[in-house]
Structure 1
Amino acid sequence: MSAIDYQNKHFLIIDNIKPSHDILKKFAMSLTSKQVDATLYSKDVTSMCLEKQYDVILLGYDLGERQKNGQQILEELRISEVISRHCVVIIITAEVTQGMVLAALEHKPDSYLCKPYSLQELHKRLNKCLAKKMAMAEIYQAIDEDDKSLTISLVNDALASNTPYKIECLGIKSRQYFDLKKFEQAQKIYTAYQDESHCQWANIGLGKIALHNNDFANAETIFKNIIEQQPLYMPSYDWLASTYQQRAHNQYAEETLAQAVKLSPRSVVRLKKYANLCFENEHYEKATSAYQQVYNLAYNSIHQAPENAIMFAKSLAGYSTDLSLIDAKKMNNRAFTMLSQMNKSYQQVEFKIQAHLLSARLLENIHDYIVAKSKIELGLTLLDKERQNIDVDSLTNIADSLTKLNRNNKASQILISVNQQQANNSSMSGKIGELSNEQLNGDHTAKAQKALEFGKELFEALEYSKAIKALNEALLIFPNHSGIKLNLLQVLLTSYEKDKFKSEDLTQAKRIILDMLSVSKDNEIYSRLKKMKKKYQQLAGI
């Protein structure tokens, strides 16, 4: 292997233990002529990666209490796509428990280094990782740009030249075929490599094709065989559970994910799926325990969300009558703490209403009817005052809580109103000046739409400052509306592109991007947001 040229490589060091932090920084400085960036604080990392494209990230795992750990940081960087496939990420840790290692590996660090280690060993790992990145650079670039045909062509070139990364190339090629719905070509690769070591992806692929063909029995057999042969290969549990769900065998799906979370208890996404299945199956005690783990693990991470507290309270309300009064009060206090923290972190009125109503349900379960009644009255007062400023999904959830509290007339009124709104609202495309598929409400729909249309007119008239003002006004009405945020982001970037002195526009654009990092690939706005992130980085000179 030829020597790696590190002279122009950008390094980021993340470690809150100062001696280790200083050693890693000195090591990086000995390799590169570029400035080596370093931080002791996990909260800085995503913002730093948005501002600069790093070639190497040396990531400590344990970053201190009340901070994200290395796994959570890597997960956020992967989900938000602020780092590309070209970036080498090496996790450095003293902890080697199975749960921690499995959770970290699911987010694909390029290497995993256990303490104590030598700088010679680190350098060796780094050389190996960068050699692979350089050899696969064009392929990774094509994947990042979602050019599947080019990816296949480049993989074919690499295979023809006897690449040392043949197995990974075949996995990439088969995934492109699968995504292009060229299932026969994908199946040929899967079948040829299903018995090879380190090719679990081939068996997973065969199972996915069986699922696509509605051959559920075959899919179930395939995924079960993977679990039997490779019990620590976690995706097989996810796909087996999905197979059961598609057959409406939710109990089996729950049991499958229960095995998975026992092996790897730190995966928030899988844990949440398990909790949801327990809730749907009315296994409220299991759901409550799982949602509590979700809340604790998600706190201060990209998965932190109001629903974590809400679902814990809902599931607890489903079974707390079976607890002793002392235990029920203890569990209630946990729920009240979560709901209080939710209200501090999220100011939207619908969450405050839900907090009041769910608290009332929990209080009724311990026969504290007087305080429960006061909570209901607070929730209803807030609902009557702010109803026109609440989206239909939240109204539906509020109606469900009211039904559980035997406020059936009020719940029926809300649901009738929701059905009328859904019938009257047409879906929007999310282009500039239009709303996306989120359904809005009454008078505020008209106000927001008017502001958006006005913003569109100003944008097309090149009146960017006025367009930004109009869209910010719309955002004040609906602070959580992703379509409005994306429209505003587009105008801000265009404004800065036309006038580089308007740095405040680029600053606000960055805030919006950071606020939208958790948007999933399944979301209809994902591809547009990805383009906006790329444009931001181009304008910021990254």
Structure 2
Amino acid sequence: MGVPYKDVSILVVEDQRPFLVLLKGLLTNLGAKDVMMATQADHALKYCRNHKIDIVVCDLHLGSNKKNGYELYQELMHRKLLAPTSVFLLISADAARPVVLGSLEHNPDDYLLKPFSQAQIKNRLNKAWKKNQFFHDVYNALSDEQYSVAHTLLESMDVPAVYYRESIHLKVEVFWAQRKYAEAISLLQSETALLPSQWAQLALGKSYLAKREFQLAIKCAAKVLELNRYDPDAHDIIAQAKSALHFPEEAMENMRLALKYSPYSLARQQLASQIALKNGDFPLLVESSLATWQLSKNTIFKRISYWCNHIGFLLDAAEAAENKAQRHRYQQEALLQVQRARHDDAILRLDEPFDIDIFTDIVTARVDVIDGKLIDAKKTIMASQINIESRFTEYPASLAPGSIQTLLNLGEFEEVNRVLNTLKEEKTELDSGTRQLIAQYSEQAKDGEDKYTHINRRGIQLYQEEKYADAKEAFTTALGLAPVNTGIALNLLQCQVKLFGQANKLDPLLVKEARQVYKIVNNAPMREQHQSKFENLQDELIRLGVTTR
């Protein structure tokens, strides 16, 4: 039985009113009685909140800088505003390969190119309706994350040939959801009739990839590409496997092909960012992180951390630049985007904690680091951390990577650990890209801290033994590893004061050295324990002529 048009509610979403009216007429001719119309995705969302919609016929492009058909479908399903068995038919006049592949990757019930006839839309809707009704109970169980129930239902169903592949597909999805990858592989290998197909090889490759059996994953993906060289998922699999096997050039080549064939996937752009970050491909990192933000900013999945990380990656590219002109270009692009953000509604209208002024300070500090202005960077980044503590009850995830990276560059390991521990204690939710950055910075912090802490502790021990000259040498070495670290700078100043006391007359070289160290901490925001130590040194430093105040 096809669609019972007289008994279902249909929503048509189309920004071009003539075609909207035409679509309603086509559906009315098929017998539909309840056909609602919307010209924007936001209007469609309101309809679905207030009405039970059985079928949505939606155009892909719904106006410039507005939610498109992909994004509407994602939000409807994420918010569960459509029943799992409702039909969503995506339509478009755009036949370009990236658009078509992008549409199919979002998994609507079907995709129909304009122009089409009444018979074509009837056939597509009937086909999707019948399938969804047949798997009605399974789709509901999957929507409720009742995977064992879904598996039991699938095992007990008498599946006709027309739906057999879909039943296997659903069983594999259930195994994936339960992380039973070996069972998924066993099922796929037992389906010898299906195994030669593009879909089955792709599913097998994804399962091997999840089990970290990278060579087998590559082999399956290669078979897919023999059938269809444009398949982006196959290139995704090879890119991930090659990256894991430490073949960065091949990984990046396949990642770029995947993006070329199907760039309108948020998950693919995120994957590209992660692989590019791991392999130091800064041009792709900048490109894919920007695409991640642009693809997400009109969706329910929008996160300001995507944009913040993109700005951070621009500065990573600047830091790694081969020449001054290239470095300047990346820096200026980052600063320009931050300036424009003050007038961007997508950033101004957020429902998550963020402060553009604080983020601007973090970016400014990072730029100063790259330009070698370490003392200026230290003052700015420390002020930003104090502002974060006073402005927010919890540390915003979006401000963490930039803060940690800058503090790492300055050797402020105590502050780095303070941020890392805060994120851990507050159980801050992180997107996959931010989580990768935080993990990377944690390793860098541990390595850097281990090196300088050993030397700093040696200096403290020598100081306590009143071996001030040796202590000074140790603290100076430690400061070389952490060039503007407040704690080390204060330890060195304290040691220098002791050396002044041992000398019969002031050593001009020692005064000059002390003044250089004093610049690190003078007028810099600092924690209470450091501020107290600094104030205790001030009078003696003035008396010795290191400073005048």
Larger radius of gyration: 2
Match of 1:165 in 2: 163
Partner-residue secondary structure (3-state), 1:46:
helix
Secondary structure of 1:64's match? coil
Equivalent residues in 2 for 1:459-538, closer than 5 Å = none
SS in 1 for 2:98: helix
Residue identity in the other structure for 2:216 = N
- The answer to whether the Cα contact below 8 Å between 1:91 and 1:111 also exists between their aligned partners in 2 is yes
TM-score by length of 2: 0.66
- By relative contact order (CA 8 Å, sep 6+), the higher-ranking structure is 1
Equivalent residues in 2 for 1:408-447, closer than 5 Å: 408-409=411-412, 412-418=413-419, 421=422, 425=425
| 1:275-325 CA-partner distances (Å, limit 9, x unpaired) | 232233332232112222233333322343212221221121123354358
Q: TM-score normalised to the size of structure 1?
A: 0.67
CA distance in 2, matches of 1:135, 1:224: 34
Equivalent position of 1:498 in the other structure:
none
What is residue 188 of structure 2 aligned with on the other side? Answer: 190
Give distance in 1, aligned partners of 2:380 and 2:179: 53
CA drift at 1:9: 0.5
Structure 1 Cα separation of the partners of residues 305 and 396 of structure 2: 16
- What residue ranges of structure 2 are gaps of 5+ in the alignment? 429-549
Show the counterpart of 1:67. Answer: 66
Q: What is the SS of the residue equivalent to 1:389?
A: coil
Equivalent in the alignment of 2:86: 87
CA contact (8 A) 1:328 1:366 kept: no
Amino acid across the alignment from 2:40: Y
1:464-510 superposed Cα distances (whole Å, 9 cap, x missing partner): xxxxxxxxxxxxxxxxxxxxxxxxxxxxxxxxxxxxxxxxxxxxxxx
1:176-215 equivalence runs, <5 A: 176-177=174-175, 179-180=177-178, 186-193=184-191, 196=194, 199-211=197-209, 214-215=212-213
Whether the 8 Å contact between 1:361 and 1:404 is mirrored in structure 2 is: no
Match of 2:17 in 1: 18
Matched residues in 2 for 1:137 and 1:383: separation? 49
Which residue matches 1:144? 143
| 260 and 137 in structure 1: CA distance in 2 versus 1, 3 angstrom threshold | same
Q: Residues 355, 46 of structure 1: CA spacing in aligned structure 2 closer, same or farther, 3 A cutoff?
A: farther
Number of residue-to-residue matches in the alignment: 421
Percent identity of paired positions between Structure 1 and Structure 2: 19
Hey, what's the Cα distance between the residues in 2 that align with 1:331 and 1:176? 45
Indicate the residue corresponding to 1:383 in structure 2: 388
Over the aligned positions, Cα root-mean-square deviation in angstroms equals 3.7
From 307, 320, 338, the counterpart of 1:336: 338
Q: Which amino acid in 1 is paired with 2:139? A: Y
What's the secondary structure of 1:25's corresponding residue?
Answer: helix
Partner of 1:35: 34
Q: Distance in 2 between matches of 1:67 and 1:28?
A: 26
Structure 1 pair 382/9, CA: closer, same or farther in 2 (3 Å)?
Answer: same
Task: Quote the Cα distance in structure 2 between the aligned partners of 1:419 and 1:184.
Answer: 36
Cα deviation for residue 105 of structure 1 reads: 0.4
The one-letter amino acid of 1:415's match is V
Shift of 1:48: 3.2
The secondary structure found in structure 2 opposite 1:83 is coil
CA–CA distance in 2 between the matches of 1:232 and 1:96?
15
Counterpart mapping for 1:321-360 below 5 A = 322=323, 323=325, 327-328=329-330, 331-332=333-334, 334-337=336-339, 339-340=341-342, 341=344, 344-346=348-350, 348-349=353-354, 352-360=357-365
Conserved 8 A contact 1:9-1:32: no
- Give the gaps of 5 or more residues in structure 1: 429-542
How far apart, CA to CA, are the structure 2 residues paired with 1:371 and 1:18?
A: 57
- Aligned residues of 1:207 and 1:223 also touching (Cα < 8 A): yes
CA contact (8 A) 1:343 1:352 kept: no
| Alpha-carbon separation, structure 2, partners of 1:328 and 1:115 | 42
Whole-angstrom distance in 2 between the partners of 1:45 and 1:421:
41
Q: Which residue of 1 aligns with 2:407?
A: 403
Cα 1:393–1:131 shift into 2, 3 Å: closer
Do the aligned partners of residues 370 and 73 (structure 1) sit closer, same or farther apart at CA in structure 2, a change above 3 Å counting? Answer: farther
Alpha-carbon distance change, 15 to 137 in structure 1, aligned in 2, over 3 angstroms: same
Looking at structure 2, the residues matched to 372 and 213 of structure 1 have their Cα atoms a distance apart, in angstroms, of 44
